[in-house]
């Protein structure tokens, strides 16, 4: 069922993904209030996107255990269906404390070129957990000197 929803979402939103340029994304994230949000530099946010989705707005990743998909990750920030959006297997909609859909969104909402809702959701994700929930960030960005990561962007 989820594969059908993902395919349907891709058909509705258009087949070709939008791939951001690093500096283009940095400017957009800055305007959206992520620079310094919860103590994370703009370079950390862009590094996260680079290593989670390669700047691809339509990226969908699947997490597997024992050969079965346990959850999926959606969009630029790879927002997890495990607690943050509804992919058809998540129980409940909305953002109540007991809901597994803490961003109150359908996961397919995160695989389009409008990333405003993605940004609002990642702000919720990072509040209680920091950026440690993203393995790409932990492996490639955390505790790294990102001073020069955006130097070519003239921000």
Our answer to whether residue 73 is catalytic in this structure is: yes
The per-residue DSSP string of 11-35 comes to HHH-SSPPB--HHHHHHHHHHTT-T
**CB of 96 closer than 8 Å to CB of 90:** no
Q: Considering 73, 86, 109, 118, which one is annotated as catalytic?
A: 73
Q: Considering 24, 50, 52, 117, which one is annotated as catalytic?
A: 52
Our answer to whether residue 21 is catalytic in this structure is: no
Ordered strands of the 60-65 beta sheet: 60-65, 68-74, 79-80
- Helix H or strand E segment including 63: strand 60-65
d(Cα 48, Cα 25) in Å, to the nearest integer? Answer: 12
d(Cα 130, Cα 62) in Å, to the nearest integer? Answer: 22
The catalytic residue positions are 52, 73
């Amino acid at each position: 069922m989820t594969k059908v929803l993902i395919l349907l979402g891709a058909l509705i939103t258009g087949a070709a993904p939008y791939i951001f340029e690093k500096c283009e994304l940095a400017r957009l994230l800055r305007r959206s209030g992520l620079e310094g949000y919860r103590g994370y530099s703009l370079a950390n946010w862009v590094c996260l996107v680079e290593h989670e989705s390669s700047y691809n707005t339509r990226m969908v990743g699947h997490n597997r255990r024992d050969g079965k998909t346990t959850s999926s990750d959606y969009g630029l920030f790879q927002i997890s269906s495990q607690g943050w959006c509804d992919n058809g297997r998540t129980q409940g909609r909305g953002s109540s404390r007991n809901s597994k859909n803490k961003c109150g969104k359908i996961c397919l909402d995160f695989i389009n070129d409008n990333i405003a809702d993605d940004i609002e959701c990642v702000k919720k994700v990072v509040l209680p957990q920091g950026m440690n929930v993203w393995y790409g960030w932990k492996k490639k960005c955390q505790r790294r000197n990102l001073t020069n990561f955006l130097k070519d962007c003239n921000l």
